[in-house]
Amino acid sequence: MNGKTDIIVVGTGASGLFYALNTPPNKRILMITKRAVDESDSYLAQGGICVLRDTDDYDSFFEDTLKAGHYENDRASVAVMIRSSPEIIKNLIDLGVTFEKENGELLYTREGAHSRARILYHEDLTGREITSKLLAQVKKRPNITIIENMAMVDLMCQDNCCNGVVASDGTGAIHMYQSDYVVLATGGLGGLFDRSTNLAHLTGDAIAIALKHQIEVENISYIQIHPTTLYSRKPGRRFLISESVRGEGAVLYNRKMQRFVDELLPRDLLTKAIHEQMEQDESDFVWLSMQDMGPEVIKNRFPNIFKHCLDEGYDITRECIPVTPAQHYFMGGIKVDLESRTSMAHLYAIGEVSCNRVHGANRLASNSLLESLVFAKRAAIDTHNHYNTSAVLKKALQLDDYKDLEQLKSDYKKIILDEIERSKVIERIDKA
């Protein structure tokens, strides 16, 4: 046993960091992360973060979110997210996050399925800007310790109460960390797919562990495909071409260089249209053109996309680029309430690994960072308001259960994929 702390946060993406920053400084927090501290999908978010512009914007923001989610969203969760957004943006700015401004006023952009511009952004690197600033603040807190290259392999539980985490370091050695509370902020499951915008090590282990311990999960088969990633024959992660590109006027062409779709459709509908066009064209991609924006706008507004495409041999100021859909986001996950509590006592889930049903069956663009931060803060406040110590473990864990980590990894992958297929069958029956 590696000793006991107050709270363990598994994951160092935006939600985990924001949880830690909203926890009182008298609580000792241990953060563990599967890889390096900055290797989270939060860093990869390009587009931006939604915010309620004013009171007149509430109804349209609410409707846009529900419409994109095919009205399967939890309305109470959506209301909480939207109404909390101005406070969250203020918190971020107070923590040093900068968003684009003009003449001292915040600039807003629009993305697919939004009825108006309500998205704040920092170049085309909004996720990196937010997450890096949160990490910088976390590193200043003496009550927070971060351990990198420490992968969770199980939870320590008894009597439906979470008491800590079992983890493996880079050498394969097993560590046991006991705590009063555990917060899962482990991200998505894109690493299970051949083509994904996610980092490869994000394989949904927390979902498998939840299923193993009969912790409730929900909407496991709700997996979002992003319509536009840079086409490549190289193996590995797919490079995202942000929704904001289309929000700023980029258009999609078929192989005959004819525009074939409304580029601002919700992601699932646009993905469907692209797949249909690719089938008609007998092609693995369609073309995306940004040229009408002009070189200066492209280089200033989308410097990261411009540079990456240039490195791949495409000058987006002068030519179209090939794009294709790829797995992007997980709308399902570990079932939580409005305070991010799971069905197991002393266990919270926040960010992409959780399912508070905000997104319904399809996430509205740029709601992910907002949702993660809103419900991470609510989880931190709830932990503080109801804090009590966990019971001492009655039975020691058997280290032999973790001696073959490769087999365990394989088992977890099978558990998740089997549950996704089972969930799809149930979904079809329910909709029949």
CATH of the domain at 315: 3.90.700.10
pLDDT value, residue 131: 98
User: Is residue 104 located within the same domain as residue 216?
Assistant: yes
Q: What is the CA radius of gyration of the chain?
A: 21
- Which tokens is 254 given? 């078929």
What's the CATH code of the domain at 163? 3.50.50.60
Mean pLDDT of 287-305: 97
Looking at residue 66, the DSSP 8-state letter turns out to be: H
pLDDT value, residue 390: 86
Mean pLDDT of 265-281: 97
Kindly indicate the confidence band of residue 429, based on its pLDDT and cuts at 50, 70 and 90.
low
User: Is residue 345 located within the same domain as residue 295?
Assistant: no
Mean pLDDT of 230-234: 95
pLDDT: which is higher, 235 or 181? 181
User: Is residue 207 located within the same domain as residue 234?
Assistant: no
Which positions ≥6 away from 44 have C-beta within 8 Å?
A: 127, 128, 197, 198, 199, 240
Mean pLDDT of 355-376: 98
Domain end: 265, 298, 327, which one?
327
Phi, psi of 162 (to 5 degrees): -90, 130
Kindly indicate the confidence band of residue 43, based on its pLDDT and cuts at 50, 70 and 90.
very high
User: Is residue 361 located within the same domain as residue 246?
Assistant: no
Domain end: 310, 327, 344, which one?
327
**Partners of 166 in the β-ladder:** 154, 176
User: Is residue 74 located within the same domain as residue 181?
Assistant: yes
Domain end: 327, 362, 392, which one?
327
User: Is residue 162 located within the same domain as residue 70?
Assistant: yes
**Which tens digit of pLDDT belongs to each residue from 142-201?**
999 999 999 999 999 999 999 999 999 989 999 999 999 999 999 999 999 999 999 999
Distance of CA 315 to the CA centre of its chain: 29
User: Is residue 265 located within the same domain as residue 388?
Assistant: no
Which one of the listed residues 267, 301, 357, 363 is annotated catalytic? Answer: 267
**Percent helix, percent strand, percent coil in the chain, to nearest 5:** 35, 20, 40
What range defines the domain where residue 162 resides? Answer: 4-222+331-431
Containing 269, the helix (H) or strand (E) segment is helix 267-281
Position 1 pLDDT exceeds 70 = no
**Which tens digit of pLDDT belongs to each residue from 391-416?**
878 777 888 889 999 999 999 999 99
Position 432 pLDDT exceeds 70 = no
pLDDT value, residue 391: 80
What is the widest separation between alpha-carbon atoms in the chain? 69
Nearest to 427 by CA among 331, 329, 328, 327: 331
User: Is residue 204 located within the same domain as residue 268?
Assistant: no
Containing 233, the helix (H) or strand (E) segment is none
Least confident window among 70-74, 122-126, 427-431 = 427-431
Neighbours of 71 (CB within 10 A): 12
What does the alpha-carbon distance between residue 190 and residue 412 come to, in Å, rounded to a whole number?
A: 14
Position 40 pLDDT exceeds 80 = yes
User: Is residue 18 located within the same domain as residue 134?
Assistant: yes
pLDDT: which is higher, 230 or 395? 230
pLDDT value, residue 162: 97
pLDDT value, residue 393: 81
User: Is residue 216 located within the same domain as residue 362?
Assistant: yes
Kindly indicate the confidence band of residue 221, based on its pLDDT and cuts at 50, 70 and 90.
very high
User: Is residue 264 located within the same domain as residue 386?
Assistant: no
Q: How many domains does the chain have?
A: 2
**Which tens digit of pLDDT belongs to each residue from 55-108?**
999 999 999 999 999 999 999 999 999 999 999 999 999 999 999 999 999 999
267 is catalytic: yes
User: Is residue 247 located within the same domain as residue 173?
Assistant: no
Q: What is the mean pLDDT of the chain?
A: 96
